[in-house]
Amino acid sequence: MPFNEEGHYYESALRKADGTTSKGAFGRAVRTLGDAEFEAILRAGFTRKLEPWEGPVAGAAEAPIQFPARPIAAQVVMRPFRDEAFRRHVRQAYGNTCAVSGLRLINGGGRPEVQAAHIQPVAAQGPDSIRNGLALTGTVHWLFDRGLLSVDDDYRILLAQSGVPEELGRLVQPDRKLLLPSRPEWRPHSSYPRWHREHVFKGARSSSA
């Protein structure tokens, strides 16, 4: 509500003796009020009839901030080509089952959760061959790519001596043997696990580790 209505000041301290506004008093952020003036302000404010709202009030509402549209930038990424058939063939060879954990999870649409992992990565010139692939769940795939898990020449599962939480270690089958495709020609070629042990694995290379 206004501090001055038709010459009436609700705060007497804001009015000079000559009837003009005391700018010095008006500029103070905190001003003391007598009980009578305080009650008069409340009475006037709560009994005031509000006018119908007809649009934004200056200072009370701001228009939404307009941000410029994001520019569209074309980007060419150079990376080794990945054969889509590799994923399909590796999944089929392992029966959509994780070679390390033995889990076989299929969603409601019939899509398997298991992923096709390169033993020797594509970035390191690993081929899109079934013999360079393992079917792994997402978590096991993460462990394998970070060298916390590997495989020896006898297809025994190796775990790094540190860095593998105990709970994740339980994903490995108790006998520490890799589940293999039924057809020998689909099983990992020894050269690829050997490359992984020498360049990625963070543990001892012996299967007894």
Q: In this predicted model, what pLDDT tens digit does every residue of 22-31 receive, in sequence order?
A: 777 767 777 7
Residue 208, Cβ density class (10 Å: 0-12 exposed, 13-18 middle, ≥19 buried): exposed
Highest mean pLDDT among 5-14, 103-112, 113-122: 113-122
Residue entry with tokens 């033993």: 119
Instruction: Please tell me the predicted confidence (pLDDT) of residue 66.
Output: 67
- Whether the pLDDT of residue 74 is over 80: the answer is no
Nearest in space to 190 (alpha carbons), one of 209, 203, 205, 170? 205
179, 137 Cβ separation under 8 angstroms: no
d(CA 136, CA 185): 19
Domain range annotation of the chain: 10-47, 84-199
d(CA 127, CA 200): 17
List C-alpha distances in Å: 137 to 34, 44, 68, 155.
Answer: 75, 72, 42, 18
Confidence (pTM): 0.58
Cβ count near 44 (within 10 Å)? 14
Reported as a pLDDT band with limits 50, 70 and 90, residue 205 is: low
d(CA 122, CA 119): 9
Q: Which of 77-86, 120-129, 161-170, 176-185 has the lowest mean pLDDT?
A: 77-86
Mean pLDDT of 81-88: 78
